[in-house]
C-alpha cells in the first residue's frame, strides 16, 4: 500500500468516526469505512487509478467519494473533513458535564438540531423530545436541575 493510499484511508476513517459521533446517516458512515478498507487493500497507487479515470471501479467508491479523492489528490485535504473537525464552542462543550449528555449527544444537539444556548436546551428538554435521542441517559428532571444550576453559576 502506498503512502497516499494509507493517508487517504486514514482520512476516510477519521471522517467516518466524526460522522458517527455526530449521529449522521449510518449508511454514510459505512460508506467511508468501506472506502477506507478498499484503499488499504488497493495494490496500485490511488494517483494512477485517478489518472486513468477508474476511481469508481474501486469497490465502495462512487461519484461522491471519487470527487473527494480527486480533491485530496489536488489539495492534500478534503474540505468536508475540515468542516467536520471544527470543534464545539467551549460553552457548548461544557454541556457534556450535564447529566445524560455525552459528547455524541451534545454534537447532535449542536450540529443537527441547532441548539445553541441553555435556553434552547431547556426548551428542548421541556418538550420531552430530548428523551427520544439515542444515548440520552438522564431524566429530564435531573437535566433541568443541572441547567438551572449551570445558569445560576453563570456558565
Q: What is the CATH number of the domain that holds 62?
A: 1.10.150.110
Q: Which of 83, 68, 74, 56 is nearest to 12 (CA)?
A: 68
Identify whether residues 80 and 31 lie together within a single domain. Answer: yes
C-alpha–C-alpha distance, residues 37 and 40, integer Å: 5
Identify whether residues 9 and 77 lie together within a single domain. Answer: yes
Identify whether residues 30 and 95 lie together within a single domain. Answer: no
Q: How many domains is the chain built from?
A: 2
Return the C-alpha cell found at 22: 455526530
Residue 24 pLDDT: 84
Residue 21 pLDDT: 78
Please write the tens of the pLDDT for every residue from 14-56.
999 888 877 789 999 999 999 999 999 999 999 999 999 999 9
- Domain boundary among the residues 40, 59, 85 is at 85
Residue 101 pLDDT: 87
Strand, coil or helix: 128: coil
Domain hosting residue 38, numbered range: 3-85
| pTM higher than 0.75 | no
Q: What is the CATH number of the domain that holds 138?
A: 1.10.150
Please write the tens of the pLDDT for every residue from 103-142.
778 888 888 889 999 999 999 999 998 888 877 777 899 9
Identify whether residues 97 and 80 lie together within a single domain. Answer: no
Residue 155 pLDDT: 60
Identify whether residues 27 and 76 lie together within a single domain. Answer: yes
Identify whether residues 64 and 105 lie together within a single domain. Answer: no
Helices (H), the chain: 3-21, 26-41, 46-51, 63-75, 79-85, 90-93, 103-107, 118-126, 140-152
Identify whether residues 12 and 79 lie together within a single domain. Answer: yes
Identify whether residues 39 and 66 lie together within a single domain. Answer: yes
- Domain boundary among the residues 36, 59, 85 is at 85
C-alpha–C-alpha distance, residues 95 and 47, integer Å: 43
Amino acid at each position: 500500500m502506498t503512502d497516499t493510499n494509507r493517508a487517504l484511508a486514514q482520512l476516510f476513517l477519521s471522517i467516518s468516526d466524526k460522522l458517527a459521533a455526530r449521529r449522521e446517516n449510518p449508511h454514510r458512515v459505512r460508506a467511508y469505512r468501506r472506502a477506507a478498507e478498499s484503499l488499504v487493500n488497493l495494490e496500485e497507487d490511488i494517483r494512477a487509478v485517478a489518472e486513468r479515470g477508474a476511481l469508481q471501479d474501486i469497490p465502495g467508491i462512487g461519484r461522491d467519494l471519487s470527487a473527494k479523492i480527486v480533491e485530496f489528490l489536488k489539495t492534500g485535504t478534503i474540505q468536508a473533513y475540515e468542516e467536520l473537525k471544527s470543534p464545539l464552542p467551549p460553552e457548548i462543550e461544557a454541556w457534556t458535564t450535564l447529566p445524560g449528555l455525552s459528547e455524541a449527544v451534545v454534537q447532535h444537539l449542536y450540529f443537527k438540531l441547532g441548539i445553541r444556548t441553555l435556553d434552547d436546551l431547556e426548551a428542548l428538554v421541556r418538550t420531552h423530545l430530548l428523551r427520544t435521542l439515542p444515548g440520552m441517559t438522564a431524566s429530564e428532571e435531573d437535566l433541568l436541575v443541572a441547567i438551572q444550576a449551570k445558569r445560576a453559576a453563570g456558565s
